Amino acid sequence: MPWKLLAALGGLLPSNTLLARSYPPDRLVSLNYTTYTGTTLSNGVDQFIGMRYAAAPLGDLRWKAPEPPTPQATVQKADKFGNFCLGTGEEMSQGGSEDCLFANLWRPSNASEKSKLPVWVFIQGGGFNSNYSPNYNGSEVVERSGHNIIHINFNWRVGLYGFLAGRNVEAHGNLNAGLLDQLRLLQWVQENISKFGGDPNHVIVHGSSAGAGSVALHLLNPKNAGLFAGAIMESTFMPTQPHKTELEWQYNRLVESVGCANQTAELQMRCLRGKTTEELQQSNRPSPFPGQPSMQSPLWYWTPCIDGNLIPDVPLNMYQRGQFIKIPMIVGNNENEGAYFAANASNAEEVTTFMHSNYPRLAEGELRQMIRYYPRPNPVALHAAWFPSAEQAYGESTLTCPAMHILDAAEKFKGNHGQEGQPSPSLWSYHMNIYDEDYVSRGLGCPHGYEEGIIFGPNSANNPGRYQSPASLYTYNAPLVPVIMNYWISFVRTLSPNTYRHPSAPEWQSWAEKKSGAKLLVRLNELHMEAVPKAQRERCAFWNRMDRSLLA
């Protein structure tokens, strides 16, 4: 029987009412490369924004692992957000930059080196091709926690600058530079967080979309085991992940387009590193995968590659074999994950063309079979007849089913050695299906990314032209905000969403509570546990039956 939501609206203070004052001199934080001073907000939160966690990845540092920041003898003011990283297809005028490796941190004003507070690190999404939600204001979650946590977010290289691959890149630089940025930030936390009052042994890594996909990838490498104690994956994004040897065409297209071809490998890389950002950005645009008869460009042109190091093998195959770090996790999805991305298809052929342009290894027979699992459904507003089919097929193949695959693997394998064990109580899942009149009227339902304004509070977004919190979070859906925030904050503090849940919130049961998987349904006045529908299980089984390399 649905639980009737009775949550209050308390604790939602607009961020523009948090007045900054000069940061006291005795609150300076000295790191091993500089000293930072921030500001103290009127809600009892210290704010350090725009801190360098790595050197600017410019010139000879392009497509290389991030290096430590250049030491600075003078005190650095951490009172302005740093640049976000330049994305695929973006104009320079939109404000992105290659000089973008900045971190932001919020802590309780009374924190000291003895505090040992839990640390919440957020990896933003953007399809590995943009920083879609840079520079969130994290003060609201710190305040909501009762001043019992530290929150960190940061920018990392994306698109051409983060995921150029090929033999020459590997020989004269590093593959998957964007993932290396994330690891550098997590290492920065280990080195420095105690000076802000945090506990390096209690770090929760949290990602949304490509950020969640990144978390899933970092869990594959046992070397990362000491970097985090728990994980949250919202809408785990698993697009094409080809092997590094399969991306020479992408590298060759780039060197041809910017005039760096017809020279030795070393000189090609030197030429690429000598180009201006403006010159490179003209070629930082998607184009069709090789052999695409439709000539449709994929949604996500630059993505992580299987490099044998950071990503040893096809990720979901590794999960199936139990080759991942076992830690407490929250993993979930929104109802309409594909709504922002799907082709506005008028017929079944347009659905298969769209899916093939993003997953070029899918054969004709597999695409025909896919349509049997995703027939023409009921129409939605402002879209063609087969749009819902394309939306569901893409959303489930790329986001929802990979998340369920990870949940099933985490339930199957327990302990540190990949052994099968009893159902673990440290695994939770959710299904956000929030009714929002504005989104439903546009045929979007509860789309990808909707939850971020709930998790961090609706005032957290600071991204003109990028992510903005839904307006309903300030009105009729506002009662959901403190309830869901408390679940996430509780997990950050105790590795369980239930310890400090909202007084009116139900217990969030573990994934194993229902045979098909138990999820917390999140919807106004309908916050309760539900089982994964049989039909969705069958559709995900269709994707999982394939050799996962078909989706790589």
Residue positions annotated with a catalytic role: 209, 337
Q: Which residues pair with 306 in a beta bridge?
A: 243
Per-residue buried b or exposed e for 496-535, using 16+ beta carbons within 10 Å of the residue's own CB: bbbebbbebbeebbbbeeeeebbbbbbbbeebbbbebeee
Angle between helices 348-358 and 364-373 (to 10 degrees): 120
Rounded to an integer, what distance in angstroms lies between the CA atom of residue 451 and that of residue 208?
A: 9
- With beta carbons less than 8 A apart as the criterion, state whether 169 and 254 touch: no
Are 26 and 109 in contact, with CB atoms under 8 Å apart? no
**Cβ atoms within 10 Å, residue 301:** 23
**Dihedral of the alpha carbons of 59, 65, 70, 76, in degrees to the nearest 10:** 110
Distance CA 483, CA 87 (A): 34
CA R_g for the chain = 23
Q: Which two tokens stand for residue 495?
A: 């590795």
Are the CB atoms for 393 and 351 separated by under 8 Å? yes
The string of DSSP codes covering 307-364 is -SSSS-S-HHHHHHTT-S----EEEEEETBTTTTTS---SSHHHHHHHHHHHSTT--H
In order, the DSSP letters of 46-92 are EEEEEEESS----GGGTTS---PPPP-SSEEE-BSPPPPBP-TT--G
- Cα separation, 357 vs 456, in Å, equals 34
Q: Name residue 231's beta-bridge partners.
A: 205, 329
Q: Is 276 helix (H, G, I), strand (E, B) or coil?
A: coil
CA dihedral 7, 8, 9, 10 (to 10 degrees): -130
Q: Helix, strand or coil for residue 289?
A: coil
Burial (CB count within 10 angstroms: exposed 0-12, middle 13-18, buried 19+), residue 264: exposed
